[in-house]
Structure 1
Amino acid sequence: MIRHRKLLPALALVPLLAACATTPAPDAPAAGKAAAGFPYTVDNCGVKSTYQAPPKRAVTMNQHVTEVMLALGLEKSLVGTAYLDDAVLPAYKKAYDSIPVLAKEYPSKEALLAANPDFVYGGYSSAFSAKDGRSRDDLARAGIATRLNTEYCPTGSTSVDDLYREVRETGRTFGVTSRADSWVGEARATLAATEKRLKGVEPVSVLVYDSGDKTAFTAGGKGIGNELITRAGGRNVFADLDKTFGDATWEQVVARKPEVVVIYDYGSTTVEQKKKRLLDDPALKDVPAIKNRRFAVMPLSDTVLGVRVPAAVDKLAAQLHPAR
């Protein structure tokens, strides 16, 4: 699963009512009369798309963007999904179970096109793999509109404002603006309540341990995981790593003396196995988090740019500052 953050994923769809103009291809709006509230043009990670109506046959690649769609009540617009990291949120399970799963991980280009999509929504840039023939340009040439989760846009760091934008732009694309606005309002309230509870706390230093043996694969300063830690009353010891995820040496881990290790839980390696790897390493024995056995655990899907973030901040805060 390191592949996600190192390769970055997404998916593709075939056009019905939506038309996408993808740089460097010219805009190609769908023929016919535009739906109410359309046409809608959006610039997503440098790719400009114009929609004459909401997509009707969407495919999502990666769990967090699937959950964005489900949070907006758009399961009937989905003709396929792929790539779970962990269990879908219970509130979305019934809706999720109604959607065809195209592949356990990424579907082949042929399997994707067989779903006849008009929109593909990728959570990581690896979802739009050029070597597999499903780059955003490839899909645009096939008449398929695409969206990439903004955590993986080329520039800038990710904040909760980007989450609000992600939900609002997706809602606008599918013609459910009021649902998106309602979700954003609830998210703001959740985050404000956590902030109030944490007022005045002293931040604790945090190492994210995603995976790795020769190096620590960790959260850098560019992704939403960094802000999640900050809002939960922590300080990411690798906030200066100019990536969403990246490798750090164990010598750097020792030097930065994290007080808590946040373990990302997903895949075939269990949390207990990850803890054992850290606790059994003699080089780490004097690291405060290891010496004091201070671990927090977060499902991977809580830590990427999706609708879990507001609740995830509260969940992590409860582990970093249990007295609050």
Structure 2
Amino acid sequence: METDTAAPKQKVKRCGETVEYSVPKRAVAYEAGSADKLFSLGLTEHVHGYVMPPANPPVGESPWAAEYAKVEMLSDDLLNKEIVVQAKADFVVAGWNSGFSPQRGITPEILDGLGIQSFMHAESCFNYPGHPERLAPFDALYTDLERLGQIFRVEDRAAELVADLKRRAEAVRAAAPEGDPVPVFLYDSGTDQPLTAGGQVPPNDIIETAGGRNIFDDLQQRWTQVGWEAVTAAQPEVIMVLDYGDQPAAEKIDFLEKSPHTRDLPAIKKDNIFILDYNEGISGPRNIDGLEKFGEYLRSLDR
């Protein structure tokens, strides 16, 4: 897709801050959510490479596997400044406190000082210091695609993509089972304390749109630790298990079936376990794939 690299700078939001962008030519994406957003907008020619930590399932499983094959895999570790500088990147896409991290010395502010543009997933912006922004997770996905469309001057393509994703999401919402929403517990990881999805991450919107209720939707956080007592008290009828590349869902399910905290839950007794792919659970266009699968799953449940 042709883009106008000689165009004047474009003012676009980066979380709650307005930033001037020129069209990137050597973008680096951290994790598949970032890369998928760029590839789904037809921007492969502007992507130099990607950084993919071990948690991420193989890129060959992506709908954009052919696009991944056209760019460089720069590292299988966490994002850091050295990787970005060595790649001569002019643009980095990541989330706050996931890819970007003050502790690891790579933040938008640091990259600004190096003359490297950056963009953050809006879903991760609600606790960004100085320039927070709070959007519901699906709205954040649509906003990212629109903003990336502005940065790369492919606004029409972005609008078309967003309209299609919204149409698919609304079709799932319209087909949701009648009656009270199904209580759902997302299990990410953890044995002493489970890591789960609060109200600020995509699985919350996947669950709600499909006709369920995230039992921790009242927690205004992203991924967060809770107590097993709270899980037991909520009596979830469905458990959604996040499937990592380096922590298979089968191991997590085995734990849930044996743990005294969870083995007597309705979801375990009825074997109501849904596996959500990692890249359907982090912010990216595959959120809607996960939504469609979970919607079909809920409609098939015998309550």
Same fold flag (TM > 0.5):
yes
Match in the other structure for 1:35:
6
Q: Give the alignment's Cα RMSD to 1 decimal.
A: 2.0
Q: Partners of 1:45 and 1:134 in 2: how far apart?
A: 16
Q: Partners of 1:151 and 1:175 in 2: how far apart?
A: 22
Out of 58-67 and 82-91, give the one that drifted further: 82-91
Spell out, residue by residue over 1:183-234, the C-alpha distance to the aligned partner (whole angstroms, 9 max, x if none). 0121122112212222635421000000000011100112222111100111
Structure 1 residues 261 and 40: CA distance shift in structure 2, 3 A? same
Spell out, residue by residue over 1:232-285, the C-alpha distance to the aligned partner (whole angstroms, 9 max, x if none). 111011112221111111111111100010000013222111111011012323
Q: Partners of 1:243 and 1:123 in 2: how far apart?
A: 14
Shift of 1:90: 4.1
1:63 maps to 2:32 = yes
Contact in 1 for aligned 2:182/2:237 (Cα 8 Å): yes
Query: Which of 29, 48, 51 is the equivalent residue of 1:79?
Result: 48
Q: Helix, strand or coil: the match of 1:49?
A: strand
Q: Helix, strand or coil: the match of 1:120?
A: strand
1:273-312 to 2 correspondences below 5 Å:
273-312=251-290
Q: Partners of 2:171 and 2:76 in 1: how far apart?
A: 37
1:174 maps to 2:146 = no
Query: Which of 68, 82, 98 is the equivalent residue of 2:70?
Result: 98
Match in the other structure for 1:25:
none
Q: Partners of 2:198 and 2:120 in 1: how far apart?
A: 20
Shift of 1:305: 1.8
Out of 54-63 and 304-313, give the one that drifted further: 304-313
Shift of 1:35: 3.4
Query: Which of 184, 200, 205 is the equivalent residue of 1:206?
Result: 184
1:250 maps to 2:223 = no
Q: Partners of 1:254 and 1:221 in 2: how far apart?
A: 19
Q: Helix, strand or coil: the match of 2:20?
A: strand
Q: Partners of 1:147 and 1:97 in 2: how far apart?
A: 23
Contact in 2 for aligned 1:171/1:179 (Cα 8 Å): yes
Identity %: 30
Tell me, which stretches of 5 or more residues in structure 2 are unaligned?
128-132
Contact in 2 for aligned 1:296/1:320 (Cα 8 Å): no
Query: Which of 67, 89, 94 is the equivalent residue of 1:117?
Result: 89
Instruction: Name the amino acid aligned to 1:301.
Output: N
Structure 1 residues 93 and 283: CA distance shift in structure 2, 3 A? closer
Contact in 2 for aligned 1:190/1:311 (Cα 8 Å): no
Instruction: Name the amino acid aligned to 1:94.
Output: A
Q: Partners of 1:323 and 1:108 in 2: how far apart?
A: 44
Shift of 1:124: 4.4
Structure 1 residues 290 and 199: CA distance shift in structure 2, 3 A? closer
Shift of 1:109: 2.2
Q: Partners of 1:111 and 1:145 in 2: how far apart?
A: 15
| TM-score, with structure 1 as normaliser | 0.84
Match in the other structure for 2:123:
151
